[in-house]
């Protein structure tokens, strides 16, 4: 007669992990779907450096996760309910293991990891591990229900921060403590623009990457149609932007390589210290996205508001220009000349300024001879009465040309 060794009440997941370890005679760790440690068995058996680091930091080290992806282990665990044998990966301190996913319908709730001791596993041990995964499902579901209720409150709190609901930094910190959200000394708001509306499966993949990254902290995030909005917290303000840019590149690459999800662009606002500035950083990130759409070529490699340069001021300048406060007679003369003589002097001078007044680079971009470019620049000087040696004139002309393009987007 079959007897289920897990058909009993467990006071905690730790008690359950000890029971699994007792039956399998090996160390056991139980993780959630994002590789955060939930429970582990006692230390009477051998353990390895990867397990020790997981227990100390309450999460699997990122280098271990990356190795498991590279070796194809995690993709197997996300596709099958059967145990997966994991060969030793010595460079990250991971010994031989047997792993299994904990499933509810088509969703992975977590994983059980068992260190394989000296003797190869028997068929009975594999059966026990499968029974353990089924028994763990209900225990993890109880955790998930509590987690979802808390996340709903955190989501509401984050939107209040993004929309400037709080005027006091003290109130924000107090709310963070109540919701168990860690307060970091530096932060920025970032936005990832996806190509399509973010569906449930992609939400899970996003959650997985955000909660397994250890490049910087992500205390809060939310999804709004095609956008993922994150609060990122670099460890330092000195190299904060560099670390955020590195995280953005890594996140976009991993979404594509691991899950075949393309992200159109990413953007983030300035790094601040006062949490009342979250709404401001969010607004800045939105400005970057807006400018990247309007000027995709010029801003293709720009992600931060700090590096947006003159484009930071385009909304303000365009509003002034729309009310007739600005007029560039030189640009109007060049436009009229182009229209009457079917020339392209405006394109020439814009490309010339795009190339930072580099004659050879401009000629190459326009696919013309440098002598031809020199003649056109001379005509631009004559027709528009523009002194191309005067930085102020060049800057004004350049901004007005870009504002004209911005108006038509």
Q: How far is CA 377 from CA 80, 189, 344, in A?
A: 66, 43, 11
Q: Quick check: 48 pLDDT over 90?
A: no
Strands of the sheet with 188-194, listed across from one edge? 217-224, 227-233, 188-194, 263-268
**263 within 8 A of 249, measured Cβ to Cβ:** no
Q: What is the pLDDT of residues 25-46, one digit of tens each?
A: 889 999 999 999 999 998 666 7
- Quote the pLDDT of residue 142: 79
Q: What single string gives the DSSP state of each residue in 285-329? A: HHHHHHHHHH-TTTTTT--BGGGGGGGGGHHHHHHHHHTT----H
Q: What is the pLDDT of residues 334-386, one digit of tens each?
A: 999 999 999 999 999 999 998 989 999 999 999 999 999 999 999 999 998 88
Sequence-ordered list of residues with C-beta below 8 angstroms from that of 362, at least 6 positions apart, any chain: 348, 351, 352, 354, 355, 373
How much is the average pLDDT of 52-81? 92
**72 within 8 A of 27, measured Cβ to Cβ:** no
- Quote the pLDDT of residue 324: 64
**305 within 8 A of 266, measured Cβ to Cβ:** no
SS3 92: helix
**10 within 8 A of 139, measured Cβ to Cβ:** yes
Q: At 1, is the pLDDT very low, low, confident or very high (cuts 50, 70, 90)?
A: very low
Lowest mean pLDDT among 69-73, 150-154, 159-163: 150-154
pTM reported for the whole predicted model: 0.75
Angle between helices 49-57 and 62-70 in degrees, nearest 10: 130
d(CA 8, CA 95): 31
DSSP letter at 90? G
d(CA 336, CA 227): 42
| 193 bridge partner residues | 227, 265
**112 within 8 A of 136, measured Cβ to Cβ:** yes
**223 within 8 A of 206, measured Cβ to Cβ:** yes
**311 within 8 A of 299, measured Cβ to Cβ:** yes
Q: What is the pLDDT of residues 109-124, one digit of tens each?
A: 999 999 988 788 989 9
Which residue would you say has higher pLDDT here, 359 or 404? 359
């Amino acid at each position: 007669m079959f007897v289920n060794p897990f058909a009993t009440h467990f006071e905690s997941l730790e008690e359950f992990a000890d029971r699994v370890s007792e039956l399998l005679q090996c160390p056991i760790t139980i993780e959630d779907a994002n590789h955060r440690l939930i429970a582990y068995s006692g230390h009477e058996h051998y353990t390895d450096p990867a397990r020790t680091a997981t227990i100390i930091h309450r999460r699997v080290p990122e280098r271990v996760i990356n190795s498991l992806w590279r070796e194809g282990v995690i993709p197997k665990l996300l596709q099958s309910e059967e145990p997966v044998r994991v060969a030793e990966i010595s460079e990250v301190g991971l010994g031989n293991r047997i792993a299994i996913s904990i499933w509810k319908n088509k969703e992975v709730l977590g994983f059980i990891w068992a260190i394989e001791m000296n003797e190869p596993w028997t068929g009975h041990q594999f059966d026990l591990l499968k029974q353990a995964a089924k028994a763990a499902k209900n225990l993890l579901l109880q955790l998930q229900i509590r987690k979802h209720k808390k996340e709903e409150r955190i989501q509401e709190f984050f939107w209040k921060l993004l929309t400037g609901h709080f005027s006091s930094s003290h109130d924000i910190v107090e709310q963070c403590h109540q919701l168990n959200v860690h307060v970091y000394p530096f932060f920025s708001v970032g936005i990832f623009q996806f190509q399509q509306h973010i569906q449930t499966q992609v939400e899970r993949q996003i959650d997985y990457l955000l909660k397994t990254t250890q490049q910087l902290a992500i205390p809060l995030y939310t999804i709004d149609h095609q956008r993922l909005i994150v609060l990122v917290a670099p460890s330092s303000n000195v190299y904060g932007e560099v670390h955020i840019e590195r995280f953005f590149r890594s996140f976009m690459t991993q979404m594509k390589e691991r899950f075949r999800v393309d992200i159109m662009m990413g953007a983030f606002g300035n790094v601040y210290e006062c949490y009342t500035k979250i709404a401001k950083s969010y607004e800045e990130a939105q400005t970057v996205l807006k400018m990247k759409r309007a000027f995709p070529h010029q801003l293709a490699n720009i992600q931060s508001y700090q590096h947006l340069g003159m484009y930071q001021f385009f909304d303000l300048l365009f509003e002034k220009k729309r009310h007739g406060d600005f007029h560039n007679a030189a640009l109007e003369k060049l436009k009229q000349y182009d229209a009457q003589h079917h020339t392209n002097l405006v394109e020439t001078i814009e490309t010339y300024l795009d190339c930072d007044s580099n004659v050879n680079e401009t000629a190459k971009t326009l696919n013309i001879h440098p002598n031809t470019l020199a003649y056109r620049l001379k005509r631009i000087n004559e027709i528009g009465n523009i002194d191309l040696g005067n930085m102020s004139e060049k800057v004004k002309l350049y901004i007005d040309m870009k504002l004209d393009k911005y108006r038509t987007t």
